[in-house]
Amino acid sequence: MMRPMKNILPLLLLWVWAAPLWAGSEIMVRLESVSDKNAWVNLDALVQDGQLKVSFMGPWSRGSLIYNQKTSVITVVDDMDKINVPISPADQTAFKMVSYLVAAKLTGEEEGANDSVKLAYKLAKQNARALFNGSADLMAVKVPMDGFSCDLFELRTGAVKNRQVWMTTTQATGITTDEYDTLWSLTRQMVDLTEYELSGLGADTDSFFHGYSNLEFPIHVALYADGKISSRFKVVKILHRVLTADAFEPPAGYQTMSLLNLVEQGISGHSR
């Protein structure tokens, strides 16, 4: 029973990776790798009245994160194993301890891995550093991108591109300040929860928050590895509508498990 834990950890990391890309009533986002056509995920984010639900659908992950800003409870929904995992603030402290062990294990696996796995780790590190690290410079204004007028920011190491971000104002997207605040509240919690994994990849989260938490909205992001584009994030559609309360409820009929249950199952499965 290791698979539930393996599915949930990528969902949590994926939120941190993609979090700056949406806010509003309903925002549809596409994340894709340029080098691997099978590495993609579609996201559908709903936010209203301090509640946020982000659904993931891709070849390797299906599920969602549900967040209540007032209680700080994060519920992870794994559609592959049909389980709901509510993570209270107290559980989040325990999760950080598990996260520390996972990060150390990943480092050990990388050192003894074959060439293909090492290459995957290298690409993950390059993407993480391209996304999180450094302060991008404003290169152009009023640049058309995906239906919006954007400012183009670039981060370079010498003449080599690391990151391009096309930003527009939240006002242009119709996103309210409260909705944006809900988004960033969860983002900060998720970065804190996955701090050890992100640090292991060389990510500078302080730089990340400084660069993006200013009520600007990324419409399109391109990340580069070895000077070539490796990953792309883009907003596909933004809709505004009133959502019912059940839009933020976990699926009925799924098994509810505690974080402790998952950790115990992971230890049991690893010992076999």
Q: Which amino acid makes up residue 215?
A: L
Q: SS3 helix, strand, coil % of the chain, rounded to 5? A: 40, 35, 25
| CB atoms near residue 258 (< 10 Å) | 14
41: burial class by Cβ within 10 Å (0-12, 13-18, 19+)?
buried
Question: What is the rounded CA–CA span in Å between residue 89 and residue 137?
Answer: 37
Integer Cα distance of 32 and 204 in angstroms: 22
Tokens in use for 250? 């976990």
pLDDT for position 137? 87
**What is the spatial distance between Cα 163 and Cα 152, in angstroms, rounded to a whole number?**
10
**Model pTM?**
0.77
| CA diameter of the chain | 58
Residue 20 to residue 209: CA distance in whole angstroms: 10
Task: List, in order, residues 6 or more apart from 237 with CB less than 8 Å away.
Answer: 27, 28
Instruction: Give every CB contact of residue 270 below 8 A, 6+ residues apart in sequence.
Output: 2
What's the order of all strands across the beta sheet hosting 216-225?
Answer: 137-145, 148-157, 160-169, 216-225, 228-239, 26-33, 40-48, 51-57, 62-68, 74-78, 83-87, 255-256
Residue tagged 């954007």 (tokens): 150
Selected residue with higher pLDDT from 140 and 105 = 140
Supply 173's token pair. Answer: 């997207």
How far apart, in whole angstroms, are the C-alpha atoms of residue 115 and residue 113?
Answer: 7
Sole residue written with tokens 């590495």: 39
Q: What is the pLDDT of residues 106-161, one digit of tens each?
A: 555 556 656 655 656 666 777 777 777 778 889 999 999 999 999 999 988 888 89
Closest CA to 60 of 47, 79, 75, 44: 79
220 or 13, which is more confident? 220
Of residues 135 and 256, the one with the higher pLDDT is 256
d(CA 122, CA 118): 6
78: DSSP letter: E
Q: What is the pLDDT of residue 272?
A: 43
Residue 268 confidence (pLDDT):
45
What kind of fold does domain 3-271 have according to CATH? Answer: outer membrane lipoprotein receptor (LolB), chain A (2.50.20)
